[in-house]
Chain A
Amino acid sequence: MYNFSTMNKIKLRVKQTVTMQPIFGKTAIQLFDEFINIARKEVMSLDNKQLSNKVFNKFFQSFDFSHIRNHLKTAENKLQNKKTLYDLFHSIFRNYRWASESGNEKEIEIKVWISSSIDRIERVLKILEKNNERN
């Protein structure tokens, strides 16, 4: 049935490493709220004496997340969008782990993670909306 001689033989070494955030059983709204909670906690722990952190903090507190939540609510009703949103949040939480483990660079990596994740969510929602209109 299978011609083993032409196949790539590989030796699997299984290394089980750190655990990750559960994503599959949650709705996009729940995942987004989890993201915001983590982001908020991180923002609170920034040293507010630094101007860059003060500015970041202020901007984050005044950001209107409700329009993102509304778009997520409509987007996640379609099956094809669910996979995209799953991929999106999977990589957002994975990037959080990487940012957290970046040693000296942690503070700036976390800020970059927060702002770029929000950008990505908005961008993905825009694309999904365009696709849905076309269909």
Chain B
Amino acid sequence: MKEIKSFWPFQEIFFDPAVSVKDEIPENLTLNLKKSSSHKQLAPNRIEIITEIFGSLTKSNLQYANLRFVNISIYETQKEKITKNKIRNLSESKVKELIAFLPFYLLKAGVFIEKVEIEEDFPPHKS
């Protein structure tokens, strides 16, 4: 399976205006991410995987920002079987890619990331 194309047609970060104008965005925020993946067969040897990532920046129970990103990636396939697990793994790699470029986005929002800790928990999947 080969990735032919990958792009992010939806990129959005929204900080709470009330807190932003008072310059009161706190430190030590937690980034919570949710993702959803879907796929479409574009041609016999072409598959498109859409990964939607929704997230929020929170501290205790308060939300300070929302973010939404969507990635579309197109793969060339041979005769291999495309399993649900394979699609989920490919989507996971897009989430990791987002975490890699998110710091640059957040820099523009005046927020500097000191450290990233990734907690992965695997709740039961309802496909």
The main secondary structure of chain B at its interface with chain A is strand
How many residue-residue contacts, CB under 8 A, span A and B? 110
Q: A8-B110, A9-B112, A11-B29 are in contact. Are A24 and B52 (CB under 8 A)?
A: yes
> How many A residues touch the partner, as a band?
20 to 34
In the complex, A2→B54 CA distance in Å?
27
Residues of A within 8 Å of B9, CB to CB, are 24
Query: Is A16 on the interface with B (CB-CB < 8 A)?
Result: yes
Query: Is B74 on the interface with A (CB-CB < 8 A)?
Result: no
The B-contacting residues of A in range 1-16, CB under 8 angstroms, are 2, 4, 7-16
Residues of A within 8 Å of B62, CB to CB, are none
Contact A12 B115 (CB under 8 A): yes
Interface of A with B (CB < 8 Å)? Answer: 2, 4, 7-25, 90
Considering the complex of A and B, which 6 residue pairs feature the smallest CB-CB distances, nearest first?
A22-B38, A20-B36, A7-B112, A13-B30, A22-B36, A14-B118
